[in-house]
């Protein structure tokens, strides 16, 4: 079975090949309801069509942009004439005029989309456009105008397919072929029954089947509908982007859905452009338009090329844009509405369980056909023996119809349609719970794969630490001091000259990507990265005025910080003197290398001697060993105005070394310990100083005595063989570049066959997130590019949340195994019981209605009970599930076979010896016995469901009362069973039972708990002497041979 599954039903968790997806689809057979079974499966034909349309649209957009550029360039004069004529005949609609705007929505949309510079110039450029939109470029939109703007220019939403109603799910559930056959049988049964037995007695059997089918359909539809609502809510959350705008003169964060035309949006590296717009201001703004036009070359956006298109990404730089079109008036909106995604790729477990369902379905079909032939053959033989083969009546036809219905019902029970859908149910439940625990799962398969993670490569800043940074120590002009609030201003001013103090404040306030802005409560707030914010707070503590420095100095050029250069540089024009000054700041050792001078206490730049360089390095290392992030600030005066195209890379004068404190998050040490106990290796990959990284890693419990810490440049220079020797010991990589992280992930996956989870927040982390088995993007510090390439977004940037995702991933896998064990046991028992009884007695012990109820218990209700169990601590005390581990393990086979033998034996004894054992006499003895058999069978499944809660441990009740879904399903099943037996006997062919027989049925079911204990004592092959833990929990065997 395992070999068959691997050959036909094996797909990769990420980016599975089309061949693998097609192969398993072709291998699936015996499907009762294709529409329901394959609802959560990608439509490959639609996907191919969607890709073709996307390429065509990208080509059209690209051609339109280039044609428009060419036309405007070569026929500028004619273009001006046409534009003038167009504007002369241009009349505003009454609604636009009354709303106070000077431009129509369609006219506005035709500016940015086609890159129409002439129209922009005609409207007076960006300032004129702002006037037409009644907006201030400085203060942004007035909040009270938002409803008017949404009414005139539209909402920032794309047209989506309407969600399916509940009745569509009911209709889908009714597409089950076996249920349709049973409905036909029921209708015939009602017709023949009324004709032979009269009204209303003749209709009970058929009506009972129809009512039971309706119950099955209703419960199935409710379950599927609730799942669809969960996925829709999660899908909306995935598309929700938080952006920064200026409104009412204040900087604030808003949802992309709330964006309106006229908004002034702030963009930085890694952001997605949320709407069409025009450039207001910024530095080195570079846009990746490949998602829209297919062009891989980035586009530099500036005043001469001011157009920004929705859906594109900021590759470098920063800037502000004025929104001109939103929603369906943007090029991106028109692109999105034309495309049909074709669904998300199915997960490996979904595919595997489709394979299991196919195998069992084939066996079930064989047994159903065999049962029908056996029953029919016995019936015909009896007629031959009684010489009535030529004498046929309506009751004979009803008998054959009943045999057919029983066979179809066996097929209903035998084909485990709910197996693949149980994965979806479990994943939906886990995703909902993880959402409330601050983890947004973007791809279904990630939730599943995380349970197999054997290695986590994590960032330091913000993930292991709080990301609430404060400047803690500084070294300036040969003096080191600790920062203790406002008193530092006086101490610093007393120890250095005014020139040095002024240079320090210039470096802080001019060389920064952060801003001091006014918030809604009119208080000043710092907007920027945590490091920038810490520096800005330090500058303000020293009494500096951010806005005053920004007004006095004109910024000419900015080179934003990136993870490769590890520095930020800025070029400014000095007031009055006409000179220029460059500032740079960044990783301490990198900035120190660019310096050949140092500023002394008198404010003079003196040559930097080797001894001073060594002393400064010792200061940097001293700060780093105290777990402080260190950075240096430097400046360089430029006299020659002819060479201002680039910011110099050397010749700087060192101003200051700053140590920034970023404490370890509470709970991280315990989370790392949990990972190690679970067999998950944690590796820190950071861009920080190696001493800082080592200090934090030791505090978190990542770096051990025999572990290895090294820098990225050392790792890069190694040969593949050296890497193979070193990686198992590697625990910390400092001063790493994104390429180092990508290389490490590739080696771990390809050479060591590890299942790797990787965290990332920057645009340059995208390749590593894409390459990993599970990409984890940071929700707070992460860029939109990183989030788009990730599988899970950690909303609170907390390492403990990552561990929680791993815990839920394991829970999903184990829960599906529990459900498979439970369902296969019911399948085996139902098949064998009906077949053996059909062969021996010529009749099936369970009627069609009873079998449909059993199918409901084991399919939808069983999945609800077992596939939604929350994780327990024991899951993180066992090794991760290997890449090639068998899904149906020896332990599961042992449990399935053991419980099946017990149930089959007990139920067969009851069926054939029940009257004697239970001392049943009288005319209704057969009806009572059949009811007892049915009742005992159901209670066997109820207690088997409890048994399935843990496949290894004897105590199956632990944590049961924490799973409210499981308890509700159990109570509902028992209550409805009582109603069926006691009150619905007319339809279900049951009779009310005495309390003694109820007790007997419950005890027969409960005995399976004792049987379960005995079965679990049977060894299942060689084990690796798993270590016992303090709570008595034993890890399951793991590896390619054992699960």
pLDDT digits (tens, 9 = 90+) for 122-142: 888 899 999 989 999 988 999
Q: Point out the residues that are catalytic.
A: 459
The 10 Å Cβ neighbour count of residue 365 is 17
- pLDDT tens column, 254-290: 999 999 999 999 998 888 899 999 999 888 888 888 8
Token pair belonging to 583: 């500032």
The 10 Å Cβ neighbour count of residue 831 is 24
Find, among 249, 751, 224, 807, the residue nearest to 524 by Cα. 249
Q: How far apart are CA 452 and CA 810, in angstroms?
A: 7
Q: How far apart are CA 198 and CA 357, in angstroms?
A: 42
The contacts of residue 579 (CB under 8 Å, 6+ apart) are: 573, 637, 638, 639
Torsion over CA of 116, 122, 127 and 131, rounded to 10 degrees?
-110
The pLDDT assigned to 1041 comes to 35
The pLDDT assigned to 487 comes to 61
The 10 Å Cβ neighbour count of residue 377 is 13
CB 508 within 8 A of CB 535: yes
The contacts of residue 820 (CB under 8 Å, 6+ apart) are: 353, 356, 419, 887, 888, 892
Token pair belonging to 737: 């570049």
The pLDDT assigned to 1028 comes to 35
The 10 Å Cβ neighbour count of residue 1040 is 10
CB 101 within 8 A of CB 134: yes
What residue has token string 């310096």?
Answer: 595
In DSSP terms, which residues pair with 684 in a beta bridge?
458, 732
Q: How far apart are CA 532 and CA 941, in angstroms?
A: 62
Centroid of chain to Cα 950: 27
Q: What Å distances lie between residue 848 and 227, 397, 416, 831, CA to CA?
A: 29, 17, 17, 13
SS3 316: strand
Q: How far apart are CA 482 and CA 522, in angstroms?
A: 31
Cite the DSSP H helix spans in 75-203.
Answer: 76-88, 94-99, 105-112, 117-122, 125-132, 146-153, 166-173, 177-197
Token pair belonging to 5: 């599954």
Largest CA distance in the chain: 125
SS3 700: helix
Dihedral over Cα of 161, 166, 171, 176: its sign? positive
End-to-end CA distance of the chain: 15
Say what percent of the chain tops pLDDT 90: 24
Q: What Å distances lie between residue 543 and 364, 518, 563, 731, 1009, CA to CA?
A: 81, 18, 31, 42, 74
SS3 374: helix
The contacts of residue 378 (CB under 8 Å, 6+ apart) are: 838, 842
Q: What Å distances lie between residue 513 and 181, 265, 269, 526, 688, CA to CA?
A: 69, 15, 11, 11, 19
Q: How far apart are CA 226 and CA 221, in angstroms?
A: 8
Environment class of 974 (CB within 10 Å of its CB; exposed 0-12, middle 13-18, buried 19+): middle
CB 756 within 8 A of CB 455: yes
The pLDDT assigned to 1031 comes to 35
The pLDDT assigned to 1030 comes to 33
SS3 1039: coil
The contacts of residue 437 (CB under 8 Å, 6+ apart) are: 801, 804
DSSP 262-290: T-EEEE-TTPBP-SEEEEEEEEEEEEE-H
Tell me the average pLDDT of the chain.
83
The pLDDT assigned to 265 comes to 93
The pLDDT assigned to 485 comes to 64
- pLDDT tens column, 469-493: 888 899 998 888 888 766 666 677 7
What residue has token string 């050949």?
Answer: 596
The 10 Å Cβ neighbour count of residue 80 is 14
Q: How far apart are CA 514 and CA 518, in angstroms?
A: 13
The pLDDT assigned to 423 comes to 83
Find, among 580, 579, 562, 563, the residue nearest to 571 by Cα. 580
Token pair belonging to 680: 């998950």
For the chain, residues with pLDDT lower than 50 are: 77-89, 1023-1043
Count of positions (residues) in the chain: 1043
The pLDDT assigned to 1029 comes to 34
């Amino acid at each position: 079975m395992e070999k068959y599954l691997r050959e036909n039903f094996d797909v990769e968790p990420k980016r599975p090949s089309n061949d693998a997806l097609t192969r398993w689809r072709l291998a699936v057979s015996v499907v009762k309801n294709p529409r329901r079974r394959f609802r959560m499966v990608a439509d490959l034909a639609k996907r191919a069509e969607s890709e073709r349309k996307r390429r065509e649209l990208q080509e059209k957009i690209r051609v339109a942009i280039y044609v428009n550029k060419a036309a405007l360039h070569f026929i500028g004069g004619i273009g001006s004439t046409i534009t003038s004529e167009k504007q002369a005949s241009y009349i505003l609609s009454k609604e636009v005029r009354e709303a106070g705007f000077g431009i129509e929505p369609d006219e506005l949309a035709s500016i940015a989309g086609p890159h129409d510079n002439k129209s922009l110039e005609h409207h007076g450029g960006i300032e004129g456009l702002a006037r037409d939109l009644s907006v201030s470029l400085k203060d942004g939109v007035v909040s009270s105008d938002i409803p008017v703007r949404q009414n005139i220019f539209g909402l920032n939403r794309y047209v989506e397919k309407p969600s399916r109603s509940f009745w569509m799910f009911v209709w889908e559930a009714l597409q089950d072929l076996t249920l349709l056959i049973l409905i036909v049988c029921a209708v015939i049964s009602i017709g023949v029954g009324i004709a032979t037995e009269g009204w209303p007695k003749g209709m009970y059997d058929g009506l009972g089947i129809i009512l039971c089918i309706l119950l099955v359909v209703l419960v199935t539809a409710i379950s599927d509908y609730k799942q669809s609502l969960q996925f829709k809510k999660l899908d909306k959350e995935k598309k929700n982007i938080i952006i920064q705008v200026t409104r009412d003169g204040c900087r604030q964060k808003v949802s992309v859905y709330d964006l309106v035309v006229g908004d002034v949006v702030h963009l930085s590296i890694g952001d997605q452009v949320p709407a069409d717009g025009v450039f207001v201001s910024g530095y080195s703004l570079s846009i990746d338009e490949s998602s829209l036009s297919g062009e891989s070359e980035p586009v530099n956006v500036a005043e001469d090329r001011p157009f920004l298109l929705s859906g594109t990404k900021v590759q470098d730089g920063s800037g502000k844009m004025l929104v001109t079109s939103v929603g369906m008036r943007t090029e991106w909106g028109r692109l999105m509405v034309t495309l049909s995604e074709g669904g998300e790729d199915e997960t490996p477990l979904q595919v595997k369980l489709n394979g299991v369902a196919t195998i069992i379905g084939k066996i079930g079909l064989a047994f159903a056909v065999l049962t029908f032939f056996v029953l029919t053959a016995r019936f015909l033989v009896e007629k031959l023996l009684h010489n009535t083969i030529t004498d046929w009546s309506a009751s004979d036809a009803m008998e054959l119809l009943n045999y057919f219905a029983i066979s179809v019902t066996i097929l209903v029970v035998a084909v485990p349609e709910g197996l693949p859908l149980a994965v979806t149910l479990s994943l939906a439940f886990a995703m909902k719970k993880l959402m409330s625990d601050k983890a947004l799962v973007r791809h279904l398969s990630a939730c599943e794969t995380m349970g197999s993670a054997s290695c986590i490569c994590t960032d330091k800043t913000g993930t292991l630490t709080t990301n609430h940074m404060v400047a803690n120590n500084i070294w300036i002009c040969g003096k080191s001091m600790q920062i203790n609030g406002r008193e530092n201003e006086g101490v610093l001013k007393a120890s250095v000259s005014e020139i040095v103090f002024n240079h320090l404040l210039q470096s802080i306030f001019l060389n920064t990507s952060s801003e001091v802005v006014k918030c809604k409560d009119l208080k000043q707030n710092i907007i920027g990265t945590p490091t920038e914010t810490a520096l800005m707070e330090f500058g303000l503590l020293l009494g500096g005025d951010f806005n005053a420095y920004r007004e006095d100095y004109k910024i000419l050029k900015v080179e934003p910080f990136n993870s490769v250069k590890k520095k930020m540089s800025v070029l400014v024009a000095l007031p009055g003197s006409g000179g220029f000054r460059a500032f740079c700041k960044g990783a301490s050792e990198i900035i120190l290398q660019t310096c050949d001078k140092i500023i002394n206490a008198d404010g003079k730049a003196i040559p930097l001697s080797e001894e001073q360089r060594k002393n400064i390095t010792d200061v940097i290392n001293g700060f780093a060993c105290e777990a402080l992030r260190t950075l240096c600030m430097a400046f360089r005066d430029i006299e020659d105005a002819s060479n201002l195209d680039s910011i110099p890379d050397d010749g700087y004068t060192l101003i200051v070394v700053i140590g920034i404190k970023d404490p370890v998050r509470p709970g991280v040490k315990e989370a790392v310990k949990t990972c190690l106990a679970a067999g998950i290796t944690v590796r820190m990959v950071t861009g920080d100083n190696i001493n800082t990284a080592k200090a934090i890693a030791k505090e978190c419990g990542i770096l051990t005595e025999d572990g290895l810490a090294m820098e990225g440049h050392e790792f890069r220079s190694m040969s593949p063989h050296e890497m193979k020797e070193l990686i198992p010991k590697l625990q910390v990589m400092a001063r790493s570049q994104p390429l180092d992280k990508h290389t490490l992930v590739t080696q771990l996956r390809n050479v060591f066959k590890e299942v790797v989870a990787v965290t990332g927040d920057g645009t340059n982390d995208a390749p590593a997130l894409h390459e990993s088995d599970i990409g984890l993007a940071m929700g707070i510090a992460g860029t939109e590019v990183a989030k788009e390439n990730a599988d899970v977004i950690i909303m609170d940037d907390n390492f403990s949340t990552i561990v929680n995702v791993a815990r839920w991933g394991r829970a999903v896998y184990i829960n599906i195994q529990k459900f498979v064990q439970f369902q296969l046991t019911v399948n085996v028992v139902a098949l064998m019981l009906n077949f053996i009884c059909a062969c021996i007695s010529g009749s099936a012990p369970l009627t069609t209605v009873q079998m449909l109820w059993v199918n409901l218990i084991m399919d939808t209700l069983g999945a609800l009970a077992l596939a939604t169990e929350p994780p327990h601590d024991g899951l993180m005390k066992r090794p991760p599930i290997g890449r090639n581990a068998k899904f149906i393990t020896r332990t599961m086979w042992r449990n399935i076979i053991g419980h099946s033998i017990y149930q089959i034996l007990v139920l067969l004894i009851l069926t054939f010896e029940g009257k004697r054992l239970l001392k049943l006499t009288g005319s209704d003895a057969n009806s009572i016995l059949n009811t007892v058999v049915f009742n005992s069978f159901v209670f066997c499944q109820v207690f088997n469901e409890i048994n399935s809660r843990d496949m290894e441990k004897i105590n199956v009740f632990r944590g049961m009362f924490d799973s409210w879904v499981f308890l509700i399903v159990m109570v509902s099943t028992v209550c409805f069973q009582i109603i069926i037996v006691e009150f619905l006997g007319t339809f279900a062919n049951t009779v009310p039972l005495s309390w003694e027989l109820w007790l007997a049925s419950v005890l027969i079911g409960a005995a399976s708990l004792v049987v379960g204990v005995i079965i679990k004592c049977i060894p299942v092959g060689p084990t690796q002497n798993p270590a016992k833990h303090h709570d008595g929990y034993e890890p399951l065997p793991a590896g390619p041979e054992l699960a």
